[in-house]
Every structure is written in C-alpha cells, then in structure tokens.
Amino acid sequence: MSTEQHPSLVQNESVPALAVAAEPSDDGTELDRYAPSPELLAHIESFDNRFVDRELSWLRFNERVLELAEDESLPLLERTRFLAIFTSNLDEFFMVRVAGLKRRIATGLAVRAASGLMPLEVLRAIWTRADELSQRHAATFQMQIIPALRDEGIEIVRWADLERDEQKFCKKLFKERVYPVLTPLAVDPAHPFPYISGLSLNLAVLIRNPKAGKEHFARVKVPSNFERFVSLGNARFVPLEDVIGAHLGRLFPGMEVLEVHTFRVTRNEDLEVEEDDAENLLAALEKELLRRKFGPPVRLEVEESISPSVLELLTSELDVREEEVFRLPGPLDLRGLHSIADQPRDDLKYPSFVPTTHPWLAEVESAAPVDVFKAIRRRDVLVHHPYDSFATSVQRFIEQAAADPHVLAIKQTLYRTSGDSPIIDALIDAAEAGKQVLVLVEIKARFDEQANIRWARKLEQAGCHVVYGLVGLKTHCKLAMVVRDEPEGIRRYTHIGTGNYNPKTSRMYEDLGLLTTDVTIGEDVAHLFNNLSGWSRKATYEQLLVAPDSVRSGLVDQIHGEIEHHRAGRPAGIRIKANSIVDEPVIDALYLASCEGVPVELLVRGISALRPGVPGLSENVKVRSVLGRFLEHSRIFSFEGGGEPVTWIGSADMMHRNLDRRVEVLVRLPDQSRDEVRRLLDLAFASTTQAWELGSDAHWTRNSGEEHLQETLIERQRRRRLNS
C-alpha cells in the first residue's frame, strides 16, 4: 500500500519554518538552542496516522521470522527451527499482549492508542492477521518443510504412515512409558470439565458406552516431559499425540472411541504484582506465579478436522469467542520442531561457528588465561557477542574478580541468567571468600521469575547482599563493577552491556559490552548502585543516561542537537539500532529532525511505530530490519555531533516500559570504542547489506542485498582467528 492510499499521511502545505531561540549563557554569550515553532509541532501532529500500531507491527516482525522459514536459500534445519521460533513468539504474544488488551477492555480502561485505534479494533485486527499467519505457518510446514526433510532422509509421519514394526515399537513405548503417565479425565455430572493448562497439548476424546449407547467426552493431556516427536529410528518421527490416540482403547477399556481431536489453549500469563506488596516481594510474586496457571483463555487452537459438536463443547466450557478459535492442520504446537532441527546433520545447518577471545583479552605468550584487569587497565575493551566470546571476557572478568585477593567488592545486576550459571557460582565464591558482594536480582523478569527467586535465595544463603531494586520499577540495566585495591589506590573496573549475564544466550544473542576503568564512568556506576540498594537519589550522571530519569530526555536532547548542527551547516545525522522503537516523544523528535533535513537511519529488529518516507513528515528517515541466525539485541544510539560524534550503548529500547517503568542505562562510549561501533553501523546500513526495508504503508520488503550482516561479521572473526 503506497502513501497515496493513505490520504491522511500526505500534507500538501509546505513544512513550517523552524524557530530558533537564543539563551544567554553564564558568560553572557548566546547559545544556539533548538526550539521548534508551534507551527512545526502542529504540522507534525496533523499527521493523524503517523504512529503504526505496536501490536500489528509486532505481527509483521513475526511474519519476517516466517519468511526465514520460507527462504529456500537457508539451510533446511535452520528453516525448521524458524518455524519453531515463530510458534514460541506467537504464544508469548497472545499470553502477554493480547491478554493485556482483553484485560483493558474488560476493566473499562480501553483508551485509543497512539495509532488511533481502540483496543477492540486492534484485537479484531490481531485475530484476523494472526490467523492468516498461522495458516501460512502450517502450510509452510506441510507443503515445504516436510517434503524437503523427506528428500533429505528426515521424515515426520502420522500414525497411518507407520510400518508394522514401527507400530509395534510405539505400542511397546506406550505401554511401558507413556501409559503410566496419562490421566484420562471424563466429563459428566460427577466430573466437571477439567482445567486445561496454558500451552498444553490435549486430546478431546468422544467415547460411547456400547451397552447403554450413551456418548461421553473425555480429555487426555499429552505429557510435556516426553519428546514432542517420537523418534522411530532411521530419522523418522511421529507426533506423540498420534501414539496416544492410537492406543486410547487401553485408557477407556470397554468403550468405543468415536472421535479424537487435538486442541491447545493459550492463557493470560502476564503477572501483576501490586506495589503495596513490594515489602514482601518474593512472597507476593510466588503467590502470583500460582495464579498465573489459572489465567483466562485468550486463544484456542484446534485441528481443522474437529467436529462441530466437540468444538462447541470446548468453546462453551473454556468461554472462548469464535474469533479466538484457530482451526489449523495438524500437528499443533510446532515448538517441538527444535528437536528436529537439532538432528546431527551439519550439512543442513549453518556452518559451525565458535566465538573467539577478543584480541585484547587473548594471551599470546602463555597458555594461562589473560589477566583481565591488566588488559582493561591498558585500554578499554568493547566486546561484541557472540563474535567475541562471553566466557573469556565478561564471565572471566567476574570469575577472576571472585578469586583475586586484591578485589574488595563486586556489584552486579542480574535480569536473566542460565540455570547453571558460572556467574552465580563466581559471586557465591566471592562472598564466601569474604568479599563484599551486592547482587541486584530482578525477580520480575517475565517468565524467568521462578528461576530468579531460586537464585536470589541461593545468593543470600552464601552471604551476598541481595536487593530487588526500586518499588514500581524493573531493573533491566546490565551492570557489573569490581572494586580493587591496587598500589596506586582503589580502582573501579566496570562492565556496561546491552545483554543479560547469560552464558547460554550470549552464544545466540548479538550484544555489546564495554569493559573500562574510566574514572567518571566508574563513579557514575557506583552512584547508581547506591541508588538501587540504598536511599541515594542522584538523578544526573556524567557519562550515563539512566531511565526513568534521563534516557528519553537525554536522547531527545541529542536529536535536537543534530538539528542545530544541521542548521549551522555542520555534520549531522542520527543512527539508532534497537529491538523496538515505539515511544511517541522520541519518534516525534525524529520526525522533527527529518523535517529539518537531518538524515535518520533506524535498524529495528522488532517493532517500529514510526512511518518512514512520508512526504512532509519523514522523507529523510529510513528504517530497516536484520534477522538471521543470531538475535540482534544490542541498542546503539549514534549522533554525528557536528563533527564530534557521540555514541551510546545500553539496555534501553525506545518503549514506554523501558523509559518510564524500568531502570535502564546507556553509557557514552570513549572515542576508540565509539569508532568501532560506528564502523559496525556503516556495515549494517550499507546498501549492499541484506535487510528488510520499511515502507510508509507499514509493510516490510526484503531487499536484494548481497551481503548478510551476521555472515560478514562471522567471516571477519574467522579471518581474525587465522591471523592471530
């Protein structure tokens, strides 16, 4: 859809002039300060549809994931994995975003979104678009992936396709392992309709008593502690529900099985912990986690072969609307395709990739690990994961700090980490060695709450000081600080990153991290930890922007500064890399910059509520998206600065929750690290780099770039390893 089909996006009048006000400085001279005229602000605000709806933009993001599964140029098992990722993404979208929309509508808090749509309008659009994508997802699996896998000797078959010996194998498996786990639940006057847990796969079974001739309904839950696809040997697999469905006679002896249909319910699984409960946050959160299991349904997936009578029973008992029913070809719940994608077929996967140690952290003269503190004292180190190893940089930094007798204290934030985290072990070792250890654990990290509660208690038992941040705010920033006693005096070593302290996801998530001994940065981080653990309320910092106080205002000021530079004829330009750009004040500031002629380039992995290329509004804005084998996760904010470039990295996305309801940190990079990041952005925004381009109609189009950002960076890393 072009802008010509969006009359409300096209303005015929010329853009109003920009007013510039002059303010006297302390020494009496005038400072050029950006001040948009009321006419210019009114002009921008006259574009009623200047914001794309965030929920619909998210669905377009998941469509890009689906396009990767459809891309025949990608390795087959990677395409299979993208199908599983699409499923997981859509599940979480319904559990959180759709559930939130329904909750606002039900409680009467429905207000018009910045996109101009009411929540019910958004919900209806979601149902339509999500169903279309779900059908396309199922068709990709049935019509493309299954035949392609078969051609490569990997078969996913249904029960009717099994050989006799395979059926015998499944019969034995069912009898010895599956049958003892199953619990058939009947529905009759003595047995109310059973509770159906969220995302569980279930069989709806219609049976008949041959003597009485009476029909009954029963539900059988497919156990989740078995592989989703049963291996038959020789790279052949059958869905677990097919094995159960073929042996229902053992569950209902003496009864006739008339119909068997699979179904799956998605429930509201977002958490709500009242601030009044903050004094006993762990207890309040554990109570809410129990309540999560009983959230209201927000989606019902059924096999398209389901009979009208069984479907009517399910929708009635689950209180699901017709629009929330998704009829799909089986099998349902393709998250299990991860196990298929894990098959030992390297010829059907991305070429193997092993992160390497950053050159400035690599020891060339000895087999012993490098002294991280000595390396950081020599120069700041900017690590880029997964290309630079997390284990030999950030993890080693914490581990050496725990073992170093000169280290007096370690302070760290933990938002998400892995189940067997060496970071946790190192912090425990440090506390047990008598070091002061402060750990800020965010126990409200969505879907990791239970694990974080467990780690918080384990850390407390080891003697760590564990705090849970500020009331009403999630602590999302990624900070670690080591205080070391050295001959010259106390020195702070600081790590500020864009990603979690998670060794497992660091191999899949693209992130940046700065390791530095910069005194000003160290003092800023020390003050921030005091804010988070005590009663300090320092809101301004020298080298940091900290949400909710200063990230939005700081970035808007930087954008306004680029407008000033452009008007003065100095170099001006804005480049931002983020997971999502939704915040209206930031977007409007970018529109202002575009109206003034400042070039703006945005690299957005997920949601973009900004419309680029709209005449009179955003002709100078380009938005692109890169998806691939790694999840693009780093956040970068780069400004030309009139010839003195400024670049920030950190944890904050341009979303309301990040800027208003979370503790987020951006750090201004020192010159050398800044230049490294600017070269990375040059590659990301190059016309030869493959990406999706966003149009003014809010649709994404894949370009024909010859280079892929991630593969280019992998190749650079390989050359670096060969030359080391």
Among candidates 602, 593, 623, 603, which has minimal Cα distance to 694?
Answer: 623
Q: What is the dihedral of CA 540, 544, 546, 549, to 10 degrees?
A: 30
Strands 465-467 and 436-441: parallel
Structure tokens at 300: 């019902």
Among candidates 566, 561, 511, 517, which has minimal Cα distance to 543?
Answer: 517
Is 476 an active-site residue? yes
Q: How far apart are CA 573 and CA 569, in angstroms?
A: 12
Angstrom CA distances, 495 to 198, 413, 470, stand at 39, 11, 21
Structure tokens at 528: 């921030």
Q: Which residues contact 437 (CB under 8 A, 6 or more apart)?
A: 409, 410, 411, 427, 430, 431, 459, 463, 464, 465
218 three-class SS: strand
Q: How far apart are CA 177 and CA 164, in angstroms?
A: 20
CB atoms within 10 A of CB 214: 10
385 three-class SS: strand
Among candidates 299, 127, 126, 123, which has minimal Cα distance to 199?
Answer: 299
448 three-class SS: coil
Amino acid in the structure at residue 403: A
Of the residues 358, 476, 560, 566, which is catalytic? Answer: 476
HEC string of 638-700 equals: EECHHHCCEEEEECCCECHHHHHCEEEEEEECCHHHHHHHHHHHHHHCCCCECCEEECCCCCE
Q: How far apart are CA 645 and CA 678, in angstroms?
A: 9
The catalytic residue positions are 476
